[in-house]
Amino acid sequence: MATVSVIYPRAAGAQFDFDYYIQTHVPLVEARWGDAGLQGVQAFRGVAGPDGAEPPYFLIALVGFVSDEALAGALGGPHAAEIMGDIPNFTGVQPVIQVNEAL
């Protein structure tokens, strides 16, 4: 499956609004790309490890599409700017975005 990973690194002084992310951002992605081959969004929130270490990332998201063509169409399509433009509404950090093939 063609999957976009969106990884938000923690940074000193930066915030991440997990409520906004789940209640507003993910539904926005689903609404805009639901008809464009979106298969689903998985989100993983970093927590302290068993040793109490701070997590290096706020959040890791995996955005799956039914095909490479659907993924490319979504990233290059009319809704990408709106989705990317929503990011400053929940965090001040820039995510690292990558295209992946699920093994």
Q: Which residues bind its own copies (CB under 8 A)?
A: 3, 5, 7, 18, 22, 42-50, 55-57, 59-60, 62, 71-72, 75-76, 96, 98-103
Q: Please compute Rg for the chain using Cα positions.
A: 14
Nearer of residues 31 and 97 to its own copies, judged by Cβ: 97
* Collapsed DSSP state (helix, strand, coil) of residue 82: helix
> What minimum distance in Å lies between the beta carbon of 81 and its own copies?
15
CA distances from 69 to 3, 4, 36, 75 (A): 11, 13, 10, 10
Nearer of residues 2 and 32 to its own copies, judged by Cβ: 2
